[in-house]
Amino acid sequence: MDFAVNFPINDVSFGQVSVALLREMHKRGLEPDIFPISEVKINTQTEISEDFKKWLDSCISKARHSHSKDTPTIKLWHFHGSLESFSNKQLLLTFYELDQPTKIEKNVCKNNTTCFTSEYSCRIFEDVGLKTTYIPLGFDHTNFRKLDKTYYEDDRIVFNMVGKFEKRKNHQRSIESWVKKYGNDPKYFLNCAVYNPFFTADQNRQIQESVLKGKDYFNVQFHDYFSSNEKYNDYLNSGDIILAMSGGEGWGLPEFQSVAMGKHAVVLNASGYKGWANENNASMVYPSSKEEAYDGKFFIKGGSYNQGHVFWFDEDDFIEGCENAIKKTKDNKVNEEGLKLQQEFTYSKTLDRLIEEVKKV
């Protein structure tokens, strides 16, 4: 069938999903009209072939002179900006992390065939009378793979933290709780890849100092922004346990990639994490309550978008989850149940579901 795509092709999470789906379309010999959202950036991707580049350029070029608004379009984007469309038949694939859809968000949902990567998000909108569809994401085999590499010569256990620093991701509470228990204990280390590119280098440094309250911990390290997926993959491979304690996720891409590569995990049993994490492949922590998500920058109270709450956790429950993950790591360095996620969730399946839904538009 003929269809078009309106994707961000860049180096953030939306762009990672976009490129993974485009690779799958290219592999199948599909030639959709492609309308990039903003500038095309693929320099951070691993193994971009010349054939794929030519295919991408060709599909972008032909979209400008042959596209019809009668052609169904798959758009991957935020609610903000998704009333706009290159088609009268638009399917929107989007992430949603909170729990109080605004009038504008409900209107966007109503005027699209709206698909979420989280069943929790689907339920939030269905509770206000709107029809939605759940489409899970997949493992990115091109950019992420297990490395046969030794990172440390001792028997330390390394925790990794990921995702740009935000209030909703519960980074601060996770770090504060972790250092209370494990700070300056040479048996355990915490690596934090939480650099937020929307802040300056000075602001990121101030965040780090604030979270640690000015104290020094030799076993806590903050990393700068990783300039390529190859470097990020190396980072994900360097840890034993991934901390996935965000209070609101549409999927949790780096946490998912980590577990699917065989890393153990401490996971908050909430929002998008529930799509792939369970008692078999992770140490689950159950939410204790909800907290307002507002941080004055990404989530602004009273705004037209992103209103509501994220999940919160009890510190003792988190440490219990860490202890369980440590035991699992000592018993077996590789999370065998996590490896199964690579076959369970693929971008081939994601594209199949998208095409299935876009046929109904």
| DSSP codes joined into one string, 105-138 | HHHHHHTSEEEES-HHHHHHHHTTT---EE----
The reply to whether 216 and 230 lie within a common domain is yes
Please report whether residue 298 resides in a domain: yes
Neighbours of 296 (CB within 10 A): 8
Q: What gap in Å lies between CA 236 and CA 257, rounded to an integer?
A: 8
Length of the chain: 361
Q: What is the pLDDT of residue 106?
A: 98
Residues 194 and 108 both lie in one domain: no
Q: Is residue 144 part of a domain?
A: no
Mean pLDDT of 185-195: 98
d(CA 256, CA 225): 19
The predicted structure's pLDDT at residue 94: 98
Residue 232 lies in a domain: yes
- Residues of the chain with pLDDT > 70: what percent? 100
**H runs (alpha helix) in 6-143:** 13-27, 50-66, 103-110, 119-126
Q: 320-346, pLDDT tens digit by residue?
A: 999 999 999 999 999 999 999 999 999
* 145 in a structural domain: no
Q: At a CB cut-off of 8 Å and minimum separation 6, what does 228 contact?
A: 43, 44, 46
Taking 90 as the threshold, does the pLDDT of residue 290 lie above it?
yes
Same domain? 167 vs 273: yes
One domain for residues 176 and 315: yes
Same domain, 183 and 214: yes
Number of H helices, E strands in the chain: 12, 14
> Which domain covers residue 250, as residue numbers?
157-344
Region 171-198: mean pLDDT is 97
For the chain, where are the alpha helices, taking DSSP H only?
Answer: 13-27, 50-66, 103-110, 119-126, 171-182, 201-211, 229-238, 253-260, 315-331, 336-339, 341-344, 347-358
Q: Give the confidence band of 43 by pLDDT, cuts at 50, 70, 90.
A: confident
Q: Are residues 133 and 82 in the same domain?
A: yes
Q: How confident is the model at residue 11 (pLDDT cuts 50, 70, 90)?
A: confident
Whole-number Å distance between alpha carbons of 126 and 103:
14
Residue 334 corresponds to which tokens in the numbers above?
């590789």
146 to 36, 70, 141, 267, 334: CA distances (angstroms): 31, 44, 10, 20, 10
In a shared domain, residues 265 and 128: no
C-alpha 285/C-alpha 180 separation (Å) is 18
Q: Is 135 in contact with 350 (CB distance < 8 Å)?
A: yes
**Residue 343 φ/ψ, nearest 5 degrees:** -90, -30
- Strand, helix or coil at 284? strand
Residue 165: pLDDT over 90: yes
For 104-123, what is each residue's pLDDT tens digit?
999 999 999 999 999 999 99
- Report the alpha-carbon distance of residue 242 to residue 193 in Å, rounded: 11
Pair 112, 240 in one domain: no
Within a domain: 213: yes
- Determine the average pLDDT of the residues in 279-305: 97
List pLDDT tens digits, range 257-269.
999 999 999 999 9
3-class state of residue 254 by DSSP: helix
Domain assignment of residue 289, yes or no: yes
Do 47 and 117 belong to one domain? yes
Number of structural domains in the chain: 2
Residues 334 and 307 in one domain: yes
**Same domain, yes or no, for 8 and 127?**
yes
Residue 151 domain-assigned (yes or no): no
Q: Which residue has better confidence, 9 or 1? A: 9
pLDDT of the residue at 232? 97
Mention every residue, 6+ apart, whose C-beta is less than 8 A from residue 130. 101, 106, 109, 110, 114
CATH code, 323: 3.40.50.2000
Determine the Cα–Cα distance for residues 132 and 135; give it in Å rounded to an integer. Answer: 10
Predicted confidence (pLDDT) at residue 46 exceeds the cutoff of 90: no
**Within a domain: 86:** yes
Same domain, 67 and 163: no
Are 350 and 137 in contact, with CB atoms under 8 Å apart? yes
The two three-digit tokens of residue 128, written as one number: 């206000």
Banded pLDDT at 199 (limits 50, 70, 90): very high
**pLDDT tens string 126-156:** 999 999 999 999 999 999 999 989 999 999 9
CA nearest to 20, candidates 117, 85, 111: 117
